Structure 1
Amino acid sequence: MAGLCEGRVVIVTGAGRGLGRAHALAFAAEGAKVVVNDLGVALDGRAAADGPAQLVVREIRKLGGEAVAHGGDIATSAGADSLVETAVDTFGRLDTLVNNAGFLRDRMLVNLDEDDWDAVVRVHLKGHFLPLRAAAAWWRAQAKAGRRVAARVVNTSSGAGLLGSVGQGNYSAAKAGILGMTLVAAAEMGRYGVQVNAIAPAARTRMTEQAFAQTMAAPEEGGFDAMAPQNVSPLVVWLGSEASAGVTGRVFEAEGGRITVMEGWRPGPTADRGARWTASEAGEATLKLLAAAEAPLPVYGAR
């Protein structure tokens, strides 16, 4: 029986380890041809000696799939453009882009260096934008040439982007920005046959293993490992397939066996006097509105 993504060409960034590796293997298992992107950097984004992308390509090929490695920096225009070119030159097309690459440099805001802010925002937010732009340009050209496009983009945000996370101001800001960009891209690119969604996954990876080591017990032998990155991949594969037709501009949390549709900002209690408030009047009205509003969910790590 044909896989859910049979014949589709899929790019996964940051696919050398963790969630990205799990996604790449899952897409290949469903019949996709995969471009495995990974710069091979350490957890904090600095140069590392190994090349994990090629290892994942070997895994896929050993299992009978098709894959090619890409080691470029997708937070540069040249790297993002060459990523799309690799897919098209190797496999003749591009159908799905999974933006996943990222790293951490955690600090409290008062101790956060400007370079650490720039580096994290660059790889997460710019590293989503540039591959998205390059892929969108190719899909738009295909649509304008009269060719059918059923393209999919899956962006990777985080609970930190939804709620904030103490000690991760740079990461939280970048992940929140990805959500905003997802909504805009879905609205702008639908006319070309492109659907854009985002996930906020929770899984044990290099970025999260220390946090989970402190809060989560290891699974019993033979039991369900709720924090395994492979648990997130089925949703990503479905969103990246034609089976998800009509689903766009949405955000999903995925953890273990749980999938949640996130509903985002919506208007709550409101007051309109039809004229300008004084500061005191505005404050009094605001306190009444807050009393009628739902309390916000807590920031991760807040006491």
Structure 2
Amino acid sequence: MISRLSLNQWTTRNWSLEEAVAGCVRHGIPAIGVWREQLHECGLERAVKLLADSGLRVSSLCRGGFLTAGGEEALAGNRRAIDEAAALGAPCLVMVVGGLPGVPPGGAPGPGFSRSLAGARERVAEALAELAPYAGERGVRLALEPLHPMYCADRAVLSTLAQALDLAEAHPVEQVGVVVDTFHVWWDPRLPEQIARAGARIASYQVCDWLQPLPADVLLGRGMMGDGVIDFPPITAAVAAAGYTGDIEVEIFNADIWAADPDEVLATMKRRFAATVV
């Protein structure tokens, strides 16, 4: 399974794209999930050459989304992200769809605030109708990522795999899929049946652990596999049974991991992946 291991760049957040690519090559990690922040620092043209020369697969581009804000600006930003994913040869653009209108990530309600969850989800559906054909024409799949319900207000009004699939199924499978991220969905009692339902719509499988207790900043509650409470093998087996054969990304938001030596993080990641995920 190491042949399917991918480093999601946010796990080594302080590395540039150049450093992350070199780290993957050094540690024999065959794929990388690219983040747009580091991509823009590197420059798209340079990044395309860097990745091609490295021989690494690009498992995803993170991230597009934040569709609940509405308007042409959000659509235009996502079209740019789709174009970047196409240039990199990324099979999918991970979509964090956005929270309630007027609630910035990690912030308090502000201008344009609305409490209407139904209205926010309708905005997501309307934006997907605009973006899905554009992505399909460029060979990129929009990968809807449901986030744990504690992020519903400010980051994602899609909280379950079932909700993500309800939206995805309105579009061709090659245009819109879903992300199975263990941190966000491990708790869901309907997870096995929804993974089976997802089938070919699984565009990305991401893993990290749920730390208990969570830190004060719950965004940073992701841990290295084996350091938390998630039972990975049943989820991995369900994803495999659904037909997913793509890369498996390790995506960790954790202040201690970000402060550690990234080479040590990658070495630990490889060991824990082999010992716990499969």
Fold equivalence (TM over 0.5) = no
Q: TM-score range by the shorter chain?
A: 0.3 to 0.5
Q: Between Structure 1 and Structure 2, whose CA radius of gyration is higher?
A: 1
Structure with more contact order per residue of length (Cα contacts < 8 Å, sep ≥ 6): 2
> With structure 1 as the length reference, what TM-score do the two structures score?
0.37
